[in-house]
Chain A
Amino acid sequence: MVNIIWAGLAAIGIIYALFNGTMEEVNEAVFSGAEEAVALTITLVSVLVFWLGVMQIAEEAGLLDKLAKLFRPLFTRLFPEVPPDHPAMGYILSNFSSNIFGLGHAATPFGIKAMQSLKKLNNNQSDASRSMITFLALNTSSVTLIPTTMIAIRMKYDSIAPTEIVGATIMATLVSTVGALLIDRFFYYRRQRSL
C-alpha cells in the first residue's frame, strides 16, 4: 500500500510534468526534497535525544509504574477477559503509559510482549482474540500527551508558539480513543449476535 502511494506520487508527478511543462521544477524538487529531509533529521536528533533522556529518568524513578497503577482499575474493565494480575495486564499498562509520553520506541516492545501473553491466554490460536482487537484499537488511536515530533518540526520552521498544538492534540486524541473503544465494543457485540 505504502509502496504504491510512494511510487505513484513520484510517477504521476513526473508524467504530469511532461505535459504541463514543469520538468525544471521537478528536477529541482528531487534535490530540494532530499536536502529538506536531512535538515529535518538534524532537528529531530536534538529533540529526540533530549526527550528520550528525560523519559529514561522517569522510567528509572518508577514513574511509569506509578502511572500504570493509576490506570489499572480502568483497564480491568476494558479487558474483561484478562485476569487483573496476569502479566498481560502489566504489559498492556506499560505500553499505554509509554504511549502517553510519546515514547513510541518504548511502547512497541511492551506492546509485542502484551500480544504474546494475550495469545497465550487465547490458547495459542492464530485468530485475533477480543482482547487483542481492543488492545489494537487502543494503540492505533494512541493516547498522546506530548506530541514530541510535531513540536520539533514546528520549531524547525520558526513557529512563534511550537507547543500551541498540545491542547488540541490532547483533545483530539481523547476523542479518537473513546471513539475507537466504542467501535471496538460495537463490533464485539455484533460478533456475539452472529454466533
Chain B
Amino acid sequence: MLVQFSNMVIPLLILSVLLYGTYKKVPTYEAFVEGGKEGVAMAVSLLPFLLGMLVSITIFRASGALDAFVHLLEPVLAVFHIPPDIVPLALTRPISGTASLGVATDIIQNDGPDSFLGKLASTMQGSTDTTLYVLTVYFGAVQIKKMGDALKVGLLADLIGITASLIICYILFS
C-alpha cells in the first residue's frame, strides 16, 4: 500500500502542477526552463562538497579504519539493534548536509539502494535537515549573538529524527 502510494506521489504532483499552471495561464514551459537553470548552478555548486567528502570517506573505508571502528562499537549497537554501518551517517547528519549526503551515497553505493541499509540511509538523509547549517545561515544573516536553547533544541530534534527513521525503517522494510 505504502509502496504504491510512494510511487504515485511524484507523477500525480507533476500532473497537478501542470494542469493548475495551465489553468492559471502560467507560461509553463518558459517557467520550467527558468526554474531549471537554477538546478544546474545548484548541482555544480555541490560538486566540491561532495568530492571532498567522498574522497575522505573512501580513504577512511579503503584503509580498513572504518571496519575497525565499527567493530569496536558493535557490542553497544547490538543492544539497540542499530546496524553498525549507519553510525557514520547518524554522526554527520546534524553537522553538515553535504557531508552526510556523501556518507549516504557511499552506503547506497556499497550496499545497494534496495538493501535495508540503503533504504535506511535514504530515509535518514531525507527526513531531517542540518541543524548546524540552518543555525549558521539564519542566525548569521541577522547577527544573533546569543543562541539561547536553539542548538540544544536542534540537536535533540536530530536525535529524534534519526531514531524515528531507524524504527520506521525496521517496521516497513525489514
Using a CB–CB cutoff of 8 Å, the interface residues on chain A facing chain B are 1-2, 5-7, 9-10, 12-14, 16-17, 20, 22, 25-26, 28-30, 32-34, 36-38, 40-41, 44-45, 47-63, 99, 104-105, 108, 111-112, 115-116, 118-119, 126-128, 132-133, 135-137, 139-142, 144-147, 149-151, 153-154, 157-169, 171-173, 175-177, 179-180, 183-184, 187-188, 191
Say if the beta carbon of B112 comes within 8 Å of chain A: yes
B96 touches A2 (CB 8 A): yes
Write out the residue numbers on chain A whose beta carbons fall within 8 Å of the beta carbon of B101.
Answer: 149, 153
Say if the beta carbon of B70 comes within 8 Å of chain A: no
Chain B interface bracket (under 10, 10 to 19, 20 to 34, 35 or more):
35 or more
Using a CB–CB cutoff of 8 Å, the interface residues on chain B facing chain A are 2-3, 5-7, 9-10, 13-14, 17-18, 20-21, 23-24, 26, 28, 31-40, 42-44, 46-47, 50-65, 68, 92, 94-96, 99, 101-102, 104-105, 108-109, 112-114, 118-119, 122-132, 134-135, 137-139, 141-150, 152-154, 156-158, 160-161, 164-165, 168-169, 172-173
B161 touches A112 (CB 8 A): no
B144 partner, pick from A38, A132, A153, beta carbons under 8 A: A132
Write out the residue numbers on chain B whose beta carbons fall within 8 Å of the beta carbon of A59.
Answer: 35
> A168 to chain B: closest CB distance in Å?
5
B47 touches A112 (CB 8 A): no
Write out the residue numbers on chain A whose beta carbons fall within 8 Å of the beta carbon of B126.
Answer: 144, 147, 149-150, 165, 169, 172-173
Write out the residue numbers on chain A whose beta carbons fall within 8 Å of the beta carbon of B118.
Answer: 154, 157, 159
> A121 to chain B: closest CB distance in Å?
12
B125 partner, pick from A29, A36, A150, beta carbons under 8 A: A150
A126 to B145: give the CA distance in the assembly, Å. Answer: 5
B125 touches A50 (CB 8 A): no
Chain B: which residue is nearest A66 at the CB level?
B20
> A88 to chain B: closest CB distance in Å?
12
In the complex, 6 of the A-B residue pairs with CB atoms within 8 angstroms, ordered by the A residue number, are A2-B99, A56-B36, A61-B20, A140-B158, A142-B129, A183-B156
Write out the residue numbers on chain A whose beta carbons fall within 8 Å of the beta carbon of B24.
Answer: 60-62
> B120 to chain A: closest CB distance in Å?
9
B39 touches A141 (CB 8 A): no
Write out the residue numbers on chain B whose beta carbons fall within 8 Å of the beta carbon of A135.
Answer: 138
**Given A5-B99, A57-B21, do A179 and B59 touch, yes or no (CB 8 Å)?**
no
Write out the residue numbers on chain B whose beta carbons fall within 8 Å of the beta carbon of A119.
Answer: 142, 144
Write out the residue numbers on chain B whose beta carbons fall within 8 Å of the beta carbon of A147.
Answer: 122, 125-127
> A94 to chain B: closest CB distance in Å?
14
A33 touches B138 (CB 8 A): no
A187 to B138: give the CA distance in the assembly, Å. Answer: 20
A157 touches B145 (CB 8 A): no
Highest count of chain B CB atoms <10 Å: which of A63, A135, A145, A169: A169
B61 touches A140 (CB 8 A): no
A173 touches B161 (CB 8 A): yes
